[in-house]
Amino acid sequence: MMLSDKDLKELALTRQLVTPFDPSNCEGATINLTLDSKIKRYISEKEIILGEKITEDQYEEIDISKTVFHLQPNESVLVRSVEYFRIPDDMAAQVLERYSIKLLGLMISPASYMNPGYEGTMSFIAYNQSPKPIRLTPGIKFAQLAIFKLSSEAEKPYRKQDAKYLGSNEVSISKLHLDKEIQEFLLKKGIGNVSNDTAKELGDFLMNKINKSAQKIAEELRKKFGDPNER
């Protein structure tokens, strides 16, 4: 169930769902989110390998309240909301694009999701799909927050997961390398990071884990329900 503006206002005022909260930004079934002044642009010449640790020195931080910044066509940067979120354990959040922003050719991560129990600011990819540069303006309403009520409270809210971004209060870069399976691979190999030389091995390792897990589940189902080929 998607919450109405009435319920969103009550959550914001009584449970600090969104801080700071301006009631005028809450209409219909969403809360408008505002663009923070800090952004990060990838400046490294290194290619990106999925699973490899990304470091802060691969990015340039820019304060767009002090420096005029135009996002060039086909360029992307990391941005974040001014707002700090506290998602209850029995709810989940979806960040939606603003129609007026989309019509200008500026895409804001269209599938941003917050787990039950998430707390922190939220970072996004801003991508210029238009043929012209777009000047980014801090404080602009750039996205919308929708909240959904779960059928029951989550058994494993975000703080009980890997919680890599819990409490984030800055523009976040990817922490994909901290995934449990990737860390398991690095430990097994006795190496500190994924590289071009080990990327294929990582892929093989992950696919092997997936296949083993599928086989285990299939065996458990056979024991419980019998072999379907024998029916």
* CATH number of residue 100's parent domain: 2.70.40.10
Residues 216 and 171 in one domain: no
pLDDT category at 101 given cuts 50, 70, 90 is very high
The pLDDT, as a whole number, for residue 231 is 56
Instruction: Check whether residue 186 and residue 170 sit in a common domain.
Output: no
Residues 140 and 171 in one domain: yes
Average pLDDT for 164-192: 95
Same domain, 59 and 95: yes
92 and 34 in a common domain? yes
Query: Are 186 and 173 within one domain?
Result: no
Give pLDDT, residue 219.
82
State the pLDDT at residue 213: 86
Confidence check: pLDDT of 162 > 90: no
152-162 core/surface letters (b: 16 or more CB in 10 A; e: else): eebeebbeeee
Residues 210 and 130 in one domain: no
User: What pLDDT is recorded for position 31?
Assistant: 97
What is the average pLDDT across 187-199? 95
pLDDT for 71 equals 98
DSSP secondary structure letter of residue 35: B
Per-residue pLDDT, 228:
63
Q: Give residue 143's pLDDT.
A: 96
Q: List pLDDT tens digits, range 105-148.
A: 999 987 689 999 999 999 999 999 999 999 999 999 999 999 99
**Domain co-membership, 212 together with 113:** no
Say if residue 163 is in the same domain as residue 192: no
Peptide bond just before 157 cis, omega within 30 deg = no
Please tell me which residue, 145 or 222, carries the higher pLDDT value. Answer: 145
Does the structure show a pLDDT above 70 at 229?
Answer: no
187 and 168 co-located in one domain:
no
Q: CB count, 10 Å around CB of 143?
A: 26
What pTM was computed for the model? Answer: 0.88
Q: What is d(CA 78, CA 38) in angstroms, rounded to the nearest whole number?
A: 9
Q: How many domains does the chain have?
A: 2
Instruction: Note whether 200 and 99 are same-domain residues.
Output: no
Domain co-membership, 201 together with 122: no
Asked whether 114 and 87 are in contact (CB, 8 A), the reply is yes
Phi and psi, residue 127, nearest 5°: -125, 130
Look up the domain containing 186 and give its range: 181-230
pLDDT cut 70: percent of the chain above it = 97
Q: What value does the mean pLDDT of the chain take?
A: 93
pLDDT of 152 above 90:
yes
Q: Is it the case that residue 102 has pLDDT exceeding 70? A: yes
- % residues pLDDT > 90 (the chain): 88
